[in-house]
Amino acid sequence: MDKIKNIIFDYDGTLHNSMIIYGQGFRQAYKYLVELGYAQERLWDDNEISKWIGFSSKEMWNEFMPELPEDEKKKCSNIMGSYMIQCINENKAELYEGAIDILEYLKEKRFNLIFLSNCKIEYMEA
């Protein structure tokens, strides 16, 4: 009798090179905050932004700008999320090199591949 073999994967930063779409989504949300006067204009590099990957959107905005009104945090989260989903739908998102090959190999070996993330459902489905 075969044992059930499960492998649990995170997506962002593990299989998916998230900074390609996450960084631009963050910059769009930040531009919105500058336009409303909540933030000072500045340039963000990918290293500064990448530290937020892995946080839930609520955690990210509570850590990044705790003083920001809750409704604005939600708007910024939606700006980022919508942009990232748009990028996925336009095939602009990139998996790390070899990710598909590894996943196909594990599937052939009859591993159950499990996606575990704190991302929003719409993003996960995209």
31 three-class SS: helix
Q: Which two tokens stand for residue 30?
A: 């930040």
| Mean pLDDT score across all residues of the chain | 91
pLDDT for residue 1 = 56
pLDDT in tens, 57-107: 899 999 999 999 999 999 999 999 999 999 999 999 999 999 999 999 999
Whether the pLDDT of residue 9 is over 90: the answer is no
Q: How far apart are the first and last CA of the chain?
A: 36
